[in-house]
Structure 1
């Protein structure tokens, strides 16, 4: 899937894999350890560039339905932009 963030890189498009539910759970667990762990796991699971893995890692929500950047309440969509700050959020409900 190709996606962009209007807040951090409005003119760039990033290719991100379609993660399975099990992969999302694994990545969230790794992200709770560190961002670097999440990137390592992502690159083990999929052929993804370091640049795209960093992009995905920085946009994964730690808390479901809460913006990573400003903590504003989000809608229920899995891939959504914050209505308050316009940042992309990977709003995974796992």
Structure 2
């Protein structure tokens, strides 16, 4: 889905009549890397996986996942990275 910058249907640029469109939908989910963390803080004693975000490439997903297991306040025990349902990376809290 494209969204115009203004309410006008005809947008003019300095170079001429070029439609200015912005992409407002994310890339297809198959192209994104899902980052999920293992939450062991639940009161019922069960560990649960929660999706905390998405990365547009493996480098970004790795960085996000690592930051959640190494942060100083309440680090998670484990973070997993999946793409298209396939596990492509795991980060664990340092011992």
What range describes the TM-score normalised by the shorter chain of this pair?
under 0.3
**Larger relative strand fraction:** 2
Q: Give the TM-score of the pair, scaled to structure 2.
A: 0.21
**Larger relative helix fraction:** 1
Q: Give the TM-score of the pair, scaled to structure 1.
A: 0.22
